[in-house]
Amino acid sequence: MRRAVLTGSAAAVLLLPAPLRAGTLVEAVPARDPDHEVVDPALVGVRRSALIEAELTLARAVHRGLLPGAALAVGRRDRVVIERGLGRLDGSFAAPVIDPDRTLFDLASLTKVVATTAGVMVLFEQGKLRLDDPVARYLPGFTGGGRERITVRQLLTHTAGLPEGRDLFGPPPFAWAQLLSTEPVRPPGSTVRYSDVGFAILWKVLEAAAGESPYRLLDRYVFGPLGMRSTTFLPGAGCAFCAPTWWSHGGPVAGVVHDPMARALGGVSGHAGLFATLHDIARFAAMMANDGELDGRRIFRRETVRLFTTPQPGCGTRALGWDTRPPDGGGAVGVRMSPRAFGHTGFTGTSLWIDPETGLWVVLLSNRTLIGTASGQMQQLRRTVHDLITAGLEPWPTWARPLGRSPRAELPRAGDPAGLADSREP
């Protein structure tokens, strides 16, 4: 496949430095919705040069064929300083460009935090769901083989003893019945074992506790209030603005969830299946980084955000639904974010990390599975991007809150000396 090293267009472009050959261009599409407020990074203590280096790192990955395309959003607390798309949906010249406002990404396991954990937080605050209740309280048939000992908290922390995944067969109702019959392979509460099965079951717990579709619950209390207009399940096969994540019959498949277990369950599950644009996930990240509030709307109480993003005793790095920074700074998060950083990754090449110590948040979305980029390479790319951005943080300006509405500030393009000369950096 020919790589999309691009022509000029109305969108901005980045001139890439060595080792790329001179004149090679990779298109960078900024968010263009006039309602988006993107502030000058200097106003919130983020160096422009750090953002440019992070963007160039992603552009090189696209150019070298590690990713078909990618989208990057960065902010601090409730402020957004960059929303950018790089490359094209399937990496070819013929495909549409990655657009922060329009391209839908298969979020994979980001579904666990953006949808399922968020739904648990809503019901927890409403008093409809208690963390230490047995799952059987909400799903009376969930008994036998040790299942009756599994609690909601254990599902959230991956300590229920359930297997990571399961092969499911037949139509979705039969697949769900098979899933709900899954017995723990280790004593509940004895060890951390990452489990898609557990989060799929948690989706059914949400449905039972809410008395309605979890998606409707989320749309009413989270997605709708945040203006996450594009976040959805089941965008549909052939979705023209979805980033494809796998191949079938010689062509890329878009709009159908990549995860096999989620497909077997009908495409809607608590462990995978959610699709969203970069802008929507940036809104969610800004809300979480701002202690549960955005644009004057409180989505979650501050205490709830802190409870769900704090590592649980005996659960390693696992918080309630969220993961946190390992002591050595390994994994996806890098070494520069604080020990309080929390986030999650998705198998398709997605990630969301937030550092409450500094207010920094970074959203990186891609469809690396389309071309088979190894997960280890994706992890290294995430670490590099996170460390570059975090290295560019300065103390939060004492005068920066409240800012009020600020005019949109576009970052200078790499190779734009005038733009860099105007920077307020020392």
Could you tell me if residue 222 is inside a domain? no
Verify that 118 and 104 share a domain, yes or no. Answer: no
Q: How many CB atoms lie within 10 A of CB 177?
A: 12
pTM listed for this prediction: 0.87
Q: Which two tokens stand for residue 27?
A: 């298109």
Determine the pLDDT at residue 260. 98
Could you tell me if residue 54 is inside a domain? yes
Write down which residue in 185, 217, 249 finishes a domain.
Answer: 217
The parent domain of residue 135 ranges over 114-217
Could you tell me if residue 46 is inside a domain? yes
| Interval 327-336 mean pLDDT | 87
Distance CA 359, CA 356 (A): 5
Query: Which residue, chain included where needed, has tokens 């659960």?
Result: 315
pLDDT cut 70: percent of the chain above it: 85
Residue 372, class by beta-carbon neighbours within 10 Å (0-12 exposed, 13-18 middle, 19+ buried)? exposed
Query: Which residue, chain included where needed, has tokens 């036998």?
Result: 144
Closest by Cα among 172, 164, 176 to 203: 176
31-40 confidence digits (pLDDT tens): 655 556 789 9
Write down which residue in 217, 245, 277 finishes a domain.
Answer: 217
Verify that 174 and 207 share a domain, yes or no. Answer: yes
43-95 confidence digits (pLDDT tens): 999 999 999 999 999 999 999 999 999 999 999 999 999 999 999 999 888 88
Write down which residue in 217, 251, 270 finishes a domain.
Answer: 217
Verify that 127 and 77 share a domain, yes or no. Answer: no
Q: Assess whether pLDDT exceeds 80 at residue 26.
A: no
pLDDT band of 311, cuts 50, 70, 90 = very high
Determine the pLDDT at residue 86. 95
Q: Assess whether pLDDT exceeds 90 at residue 420.
A: no
116-169 confidence digits (pLDDT tens): 999 999 999 999 999 999 999 999 999 999 999 999 999 999 999 999 999 999
Q: Assess whether pLDDT exceeds 90 at residue 407.
A: no
Q: Which two tokens stand for residue 69?
A: 């395309």
Could you tell me if residue 306 is inside a domain? yes
Verify that 95 and 141 share a domain, yes or no. Answer: no
Verify that 306 and 377 share a domain, yes or no. Answer: yes
Query: What does R_g of the chain's alpha carbons equal in angstroms?
Result: 21
Distance CA 224, CA 58 (A): 31
Judged by DSSP in three states, 136 sits in: helix
Average confidence score pLDDT of the chain: 87
With a CB cutoff of 8 Å and minimum separation 6, the contacts of 356 are: 289, 306, 309, 338, 340, 341, 342
343-377 confidence digits (pLDDT tens): 999 999 999 999 999 999 999 999 999 999 898 99
Q: How many domains does the chain have?
A: 2
Verify that 206 and 238 share a domain, yes or no. Answer: no
183-202 confidence digits (pLDDT tens): 999 999 999 999 999 999 99
Determine the pLDDT at residue 409. 36
Is residue 260 reached through a cis peptide bond, with omega within 30 degrees of 0 on the bond before it?
Answer: no
237-260 confidence digits (pLDDT tens): 889 999 999 999 888 999 999 999
Distance CA 166, CA 178 (A): 9
Could you tell me if residue 223 is inside a domain? no
Determine the pLDDT at residue 292. 98
Here the CATH number for the domain that contains residue 46 is 3.40.710.10
Contact indicator for 378, 58 with CB cutoff of 8 Å: no
Determine the pLDDT at residue 395. 87
Nearest 5 degrees, angle CA 377-CA 380-CA 386? 140
CA atoms within 13 A on the CB side of 298: 8
Determine the pLDDT at residue 256. 97
Nearest 5 degrees, angle CA 340-CA 225-CA 353? 20
Could you tell me if residue 7 is inside a domain? no
Q: Assess whether pLDDT exceeds 70 at residue 22.
A: no
Could you tell me if residue 426 is inside a domain? no
Here the CATH number for the domain that contains residue 196 is 1.20.58
| 206 alpha-carbon distance from chain centroid | 21
Determine the pLDDT at residue 93. 82
Verify that 24 and 74 share a domain, yes or no. Answer: yes
Verify that 243 and 287 share a domain, yes or no. Answer: yes
Determine the pLDDT at residue 399. 58
